[in-house]
Amino acid sequence: MKGVILAGGTGSRLRPITDTGPKQLVPIANKPVLEYALDDLTDAGIDEIGIILGDKGRRKIQRHFGDGTAFGVDITYIVQGEPLGLAHAIGCARDFVGGDPFVVYLGDDMMNEGIEDLVADFDPDLYSAGIGLQEVDEPSRYGVVACNELGDVMELVEKPENPPSNLALIGVYVFTPQIFEQIEKLVPSWRGELEITEAIQGLLDDGQRVQSHVVHGWWKDTGKPGDVLHANRLVLEDLESDIQGTVMKGASVTGRVEIDSGTTIEDGAVIRGPVSIGKNTTIGSDAYVGPYTSIGDGCEINNVHVEETVLIGDNLITADRKIVDSLIGREASITTNKDKQPTGDRLVIGQNSALEL
3-state class (DSSP) for residue 346: coil
64 vs 100: CA distance, rounded Å: 27
Task: Give yes or no: residues 191 and 299 share one domain.
Answer: no
3-state class (DSSP) for residue 277: strand
pLDDT-derived band at 222, boundaries 50, 70, 90:
confident
Task: Give yes or no: residues 14 and 83 share one domain.
Answer: yes
Task: Residue 336: give its domain's CATH number.
Answer: 2.160.10.10
257 vs 274: CA distance, rounded Å: 5
Provide the percentage of residues in the chain whose pLDDT is more than 90: 44
Last residue of a domain, one of 227, 257, 283: 227
Give the mean model confidence (pLDDT) for residues 5-33: 72
153 located within any domain: yes
Q: Is the peptide bond before 274 cis (omega within 30 degrees of 0)?
A: yes
Who contacts 244 (Cβ-Cβ below 8 Å, separation ≥6)?
A: 259, 260, 261, 263
DSSP letters of 110-139? EETT-SHHHHHH--TTT-SEEEEEEE-S-G
pLDDT-derived band at 351, boundaries 50, 70, 90:
low
Task: Give yes or no: residues 210 and 261 share one domain.
Answer: no
Cβ atoms within 10 Å of 339's Cβ, excluding its own: 6
Question: Of residues 266 and 334, which shows the higher confidence score?
Answer: 266
183 vs 176: CA distance, rounded Å: 12
173 vs 104: CA distance, rounded Å: 5
Containing 43, the helix (H) or strand (E) segment is helix 33-43
What is the model's pLDDT at position 158? 76
What is the model's pLDDT at position 17? 57
CB burial string 347-357: b at 16+ within 10 A, e below? bbbbbebebeb
Examine the pLDDT at 352 and tell me if it is beyond 60.
no
252 vs 267: CA distance, rounded Å: 8
What is the model's pLDDT at position 349? 65
Examine the pLDDT at 11 and tell me if it is beyond 60.
no
Task: Give yes or no: residues 210 and 304 share one domain.
Answer: no
Last residue of a domain, one of 227, 260, 282: 227
What is the model's pLDDT at position 271? 95
Task: Give yes or no: residues 305 and 346 share one domain.
Answer: yes
Task: Give yes or no: residues 162 and 273 share one domain.
Answer: no
pLDDT-derived band at 320, boundaries 50, 70, 90:
confident
Task: Give yes or no: residues 247 and 101 share one domain.
Answer: no
Into how many domains does the chain fold?
A: 2
What is the model's pLDDT at position 220? 75
Contacts 24+ apart (CB under 8 A), 249-258: 250/285, 251/283, 255/291, 258/29, 258/30
Examine the pLDDT at 19 and tell me if it is beyond 60.
no
232 located within any domain: no
Cα of first residue to Cα of last residue in the chain, in angstroms, is 52
Q: Which domain holds residue 92?
A: 2-227
What is the model's pLDDT at position 333? 86
Examine the pLDDT at 339 and tell me if it is beyond 70.
no
313 located within any domain: yes
pLDDT in tens, 157-210: 777 778 788 888 888 999 999 999 999 998 888 777 788 888 999 999 999 999
What is the model's pLDDT at position 208? 92
252 located within any domain: yes
Task: Give yes or no: residues 35 and 177 share one domain.
Answer: yes
234 located within any domain: no
65 located within any domain: yes
CB burial string 63-86: b at 16+ within 10 A, e below? eebeebeebebebbbbebeebbbb
Task: Give yes or no: residues 152 and 284 share one domain.
Answer: no
Task: Residue 200: give its domain's CATH number.
Answer: 3.90.550.10
171 located within any domain: yes
What is the model's pLDDT at position 12? 58
Who contacts 180 (Cβ-Cβ below 8 Å, separation ≥6)?
A: 91, 94
Examine the pLDDT at 246 and tell me if it is beyond 90.
yes
233 located within any domain: no
Task: Give yes or no: residues 250 and 112 share one domain.
Answer: no
Amino acid at 279: K
Amino acid at 101: P
Question: Of residues 114 and 302, which shows the higher confidence score?
Answer: 302
Task: Give yes or no: residues 190 and 249 share one domain.
Answer: no
Task: Give yes or no: residues 30 and 53 share one domain.
Answer: yes
Question: Of residues 8 and 111, which shows the higher confidence score?
Answer: 111
Amino acid at 243: I
Give the mean model confidence (pLDDT) for residues 307-336: 88
The stretches of 206-240 forming alpha helices (DSSP H) are 225-237
What is the model's pLDDT at position 187? 84
Task: List the 310-311 sheet strands across, edge first.
Answer: 242-243, 257-259, 275-277, 293-295, 310-311, 327-328, 348-349
Q: What Cα–Cα distance (Å) separates residue 97 from each residue in 2, 33, 80, 81, 286? A: 7, 24, 15, 19, 54
| Least reliable range by pLDDT among 29-33, 139-143, 251-255, 346-350 | 346-350
31 vs 12: CA distance, rounded Å: 21
pLDDT in tens, 31-80: 998 999 999 999 999 999 999 988 777 888 889 899 999 998 999 999 88
Last residue of a domain, one of 227, 262, 297: 227
